[in-house]
Amino acid sequence: MKDDPTNTVAALGLRVHSGWAALVALAEPVAEPKVIGRNRIELVESGKRDYLQPYHAAAELEFGEADAFIKRRFTVSQSIAIQALGAPIERLRREGYRLARCGLLLSSGLPPADLRATLQSHALIHAAEGHFFREALLEACRHQQLTALMVRERDLYARAAQQLAISPEGLQCKAVDLGRSLGPPWTQDQKYAALVAWLALAERTISPD
């Protein structure tokens, strides 16, 4: 592997939760990528329930107030995401890495279409909150001029296995091995983030931006 990272292509992978996301950065070569960064990205300014679960909070308001609250909270979370994502990106670029893409994992649910209907369904509220924070990070990726590769989490292993020509079982072993030198935390969050970063890195070599 190169000791000097200058112009070495790298990619980010993100797995989002309510109020935060796991980030893993990988660098080429694609055949044997290495982890060059691991962060927890905060997407809210504090652990207040209204911030972590904005749709739950909005469901307790009158509709007009709920709509304004969601829009206001998205503006805040987007601003926080831009700053939080910018710090590790700036570090990697300063070290000489050339960031290509950002892989972002999606849920299986559909994005919310109608706020009134969403606020009347507990299941839709949960789905909307996941979409809310993913959209904030997607806007942060755009702000950083990173092309986002979006992959449904349920499709991750199948798509990566096909793209990387590695069996799903082999990918599971690779996901563990990538974090071996780092030590904990290397949970499912980091493994999934690493795999989507790897996929983004691999697809970058085929279709450069």
pLDDT tens-digit map of 100-128: 799 999 987 666 678 999 999 988 999 99
From residue 5, how far is each of 27, 45, 87, 200 by CA, in Å? Answer: 9, 33, 18, 18
pLDDT of residue 6: 75
Local structure of 207: helix, strand or coil: coil
| pLDDT digits (tens), the chain, 209 positions | 445 677 899 999 999 999 999 999 999 999 999 999 999 999 999 889 899 999 999 999 999 999 999 999 999 999 999 999 999 999 999 999 999 799 999 987 666 678 999 999 988 999 999 999 999 999 999 999 999 999 999 999 999 999 999 998 899 999 999 998 888 889 999 999 999 999 999 986 544 44
Local structure of 85: helix, strand or coil: helix
DSSP 94: H
> Distance from CA of residue 54 to its chain's centroid?
19
pLDDT of residue 7: 82
pLDDT of residue 2: 47
Q: Taking CA 169 as the corner, what is the angle to CA 168 and CA 171, rounded to the nearest 5 degrees?
A: 65
Q: Helix-strand-coil percent breakdown of the chain, rounded to 5?
A: 55, 20, 30
pLDDT of residue 38: 95
Nearest to 120 by CA among 66, 50, 52, 49: 66
What domains does the chain contain, in order, with CATH numbers? Answer: 9-206 (3.30.420.10)
Q: What pTM was estimated for this model as a whole?
A: 0.89
Find tokens 């839709």 and name the residue: 124
